[in-house]
Structure 1
């Protein structure tokens, strides 16, 4: 019995019961489709997760400046950092224990029905803070270099601090009292995605921070473009303090490549298990139907054995039938899976990530599943004796 005869018999066996074959193939189709969709969606979703991770955290670099006998970082050193290639924004901050709990009042009137004063944190910052903290001005504007140079007594309130002090409008140039000195409120900063604690702080220019012990820079916030964080983390200390770069402590995010691999690895592992479970269910369906087919075709098996067919011919015929069923289900399942990935990505406005190797290997996986599923029924058919089968 040559290969052509074997293939012809296997194909005839498949087409003899088309409805049953279609239902059997459906199990493999569902399994392969689920496997392709889960792995493809996992890769696509992992790519989106990493993209958002990059946007929010993988571009943030923080430089902490320890206390020293002399200032390690000058206030104008931030300009040197912004000149580095790959830096999108930067700002310097000054905080101290002395300015952590300062009495701030909205006015001099004593109103028993409402809180007139609060204990807030006073922070000195350079004009580039809104961009460096990834926030936006809810009201008014942030102080600029002109305010700093003229040593004007102006402040910008964090969104929560403005709410606590009852500052809701700036058209009448409201003032707050820090100690006994009035300061004009020129803006309210909110929607902070970085340094959220500044939402409850009072922000002042560096030139008037000495009154609250805010003389030296204690921290520098740097935002970089995607992929430049690691490079800037190494260059920022030299730009800020060339003679004391080893004293500065730099906090940089993990390498985006490692984060991407970790996220995609975890997501792929989870969905791979789900896809394999579906594939096993399809294999069990093929095995059950093939076994039923063997039982129904006992007379045919006995007649073939009586006419001289060897055990290997009977086993090969049923193995090839189950393999063809699995291969057909793999081809259909791979096609449906790729189409589903593209449809889901289009609906979610994602960029589909399609692995050509996965689409090519899916039909092969279906064939292997069919082969393994038909192994036991084929062996059982091959072991039948002609006399018992014909009886």
Structure 2
């Protein structure tokens, strides 16, 4: 029998458009919703951790830097070590006026801790129960030197400094149960005498010791509380460009006889150190997020391998109908990438929500680096693609006859 004359029929080459691959991948995931969701969850947790860590770190750093800029890095403190009971040692009487003579010093405010004058809400409290609060004699210029503000009332002035009047630091007021006062000013018991509360300070990040103190004037401290004229801590505000030079001169100027005993510190350095600690913590949490991503990638690989085993007949039928190996591989690789994309989007959303919620709770401005969002999604897709390579290659290697066998 001869073949009729004419042109030989041409076989059409099998094609798989990107839209077809996406629809096929979606259809495959719909039949395994629970497993697909659990696989994407691992990716989502990892991406959420990465975005939240970077966002929270950036928000806290921004707030801290703004706080440092507002309070200034030109504040120095001068102390003379500590006594045996942990209190601040005394500085010479002439320390403050001598410090004010240093070129580059704008203001200097002395304070003196009054170790024997305990502060209580009532005279019924045991004298051994200090509550961690201290009484300090303070200069009227202290608030301006520290850049502090009043939460309520007024600060000490030259007139009130002669009378039993006190201003409470923020933590001291809370510990004494005086958050605010609307009627007659409350009184506190200091050194066996009643003092009227004239004001309450807002928190002072650069002077936490003031936050836990009751401040009184130097004149009343000398007449009623045994103050001997020696300051124990001096706050110095300098010209921004002369801070280092002033710091080098403070010790010899405050105590010429024993300058080595004088400790000069820069309170803003402690806030700056917190940035370094935050960055170290960020590295740790980013590592934990990477581990979660790895677990998510392994989960996707596991789901895709099981999918290949479960869909052997589907693979064999498609191969028998003309699907090329690359099309089978593309189908399963697309499913893996789709899982990673969905998990990445869920993770980005969760990380953003966590960052915004925590930032608002801490009164920060929420800041999420745009690179973290794009990089997070890119990492999710990359991890999923790598996880789907082996299952896709395994599916492509199946022979039609073998795949069509009933297992």
Q: Distance in 1 between matches of 2:218 and 2:311?
A: 89
Maintained 8 Å contact 1:93/1:126? yes
Deviation at 1:332, TM superposition (A): 3.7
Gaps of 5+ in 2: 1-11, 82-88
Q: Give 1:244 deviation, angstroms.
A: 6.5
Question: 1:266 Cα deviation (Å)?
Answer: 1.1
Change in Cα spacing, 1:290 to 1:354, as seen in structure 2 (3 Å) is same
What residue is the counterpart of 1:107 in the other structure?
none
Q: 1:93 to 1:370 in 2, by over 3 A?
A: closer
User: How far apart, CA to CA, are the structure 2 residues paired with 1:3 and 1:244?
Assistant: 92
TM-score (norm 1): 0.62
Relative to structure 1, the CA distance from residue 346 to residue 212 in structure 2 (aligned partners, 3 Å threshold; closer, same or farther) is: closer
Q: 1:20 aligns with which of 7, 31, 35?
A: 31
Give, in whole Å, the separation in 1 of the partners of 2:384 and 2:151. Answer: 63
Task: After superposition, give the CA deviation of every residue in 1:23-55 in whole Å (9 maximum; x if it has no partner).
Answer: 666456544544444333333433454466664
Alignment of 1:55-70 (within 5 A): 55=67, 61-65=76-80
User: Which residue is equivalent to 2:139?
Assistant: 126
Alpha-carbon offset, residue 359 of structure 1: 1.9
Query: What is aligned with 1:249?
Result: 263
Distance 1:294 1:14, change over 3 A: farther
Contact 1:64–1:250 under 8 Å retained in 2: yes
Report matched runs for 1:55-94 at 5 Å: 55=67, 61-65=76-80, 73-75=95-97, 77-78=99-100, 84=106, 90-94=108-112
> What is the DSSP-based 3-state SS (H/G/I as helix, E as strand, rest coil) of the residue aligned with 1:370?
helix
Shift of 1:360: 1.8
One of 381, 384, 390 as aligned partner of 2:395: 381
Matches within 5 A, 1:1-391: 5=16, 10-11=21-22, 13-17=24-28, 19-20=30-31, 26-27=37-38, 30-50=41-61, 55=67, 61-65=76-80, 73-75=95-97, 77-78=99-100, 84=106, 90-94=108-112, 100-101=115-116, 124-130=137-143, 136=150, 142-144=156-158, 153-157=162-166, 188=198, 190=200, 193=203, 194-196=208-210, 199=213, 203-205=217-219, 212=226, 214-222=228-236, 232=243, 235-236=246-247, 238=249, 247=260, 248-253=262-267, 254=269, 256-267=271-282, 269-270=284-285, 273-274=288-289, 276-277=291-292, 280-281=295-296, 283-285=298-300, 287-289=302-304, 291-298=306-313, 300-301=315-316, 304=319, 313=326, 316-326=329-339, 328-329=341-342, 332-333=345-346, 336-337=349-350, 340=353, 344=357, 348=361, 350-391=364-405
Aligned-pair Cα RMSD in Å: 5.7
Distance 1:18 1:354 in 2: 32
SS in 2 for 1:374: helix
2: CA distance, partners of 1:206 / 1:74: 19
- 3-state SS of 1:39 partner: helix
- Taking the aligned partners of 2:396 and 2:334, their CA distance within structure 1 comes to 14
TM-score under structure 2 normalisation?
Answer: 0.60
- Looking at structure 2, the residues matched to 251 and 274 of structure 1 have their Cα atoms a distance apart, in angstroms, of 38
Secondary structure, counterpart of 2:264 in structure 1: strand
For 1:127-182, what per-residue CA distance to the aligned partner results, in whole angstroms no more than 9, with x for missing partners? 223556758597775242x688xxxx544446589x8xxxx9xx99x9x9999xxx
Give distance in 2, aligned partners of 1:342 and 1:236: 39
**Per-residue deviation at 1:385?**
4.4
Give distance in 1, aligned partners of 2:322 and 2:155: 97
Q: How many residues align?
A: 355
For the Cα contact (< 8 Å) 1:125–1:203, is it kept in 2? yes
1:2/1:250 Cα in 2 relative to 1: closer, same or farther (>3 Å)? Answer: farther
1:73-103: CA deviations, max 9, x gaps? 234745869954xxxx7521245xxx64379
Cα contact 1:139–1:189 (8 A) shared by 2: yes
Q: 1:115 to 1:297 in 2, by over 3 A?
A: closer
Q: Distance in 2 between matches of 1:314 and 1:338?
A: 35
Unaligned 5+ segments in structure 1 are 105-113
Q: 2: distance between equivalents of 1:345 and 1:260?
A: 18
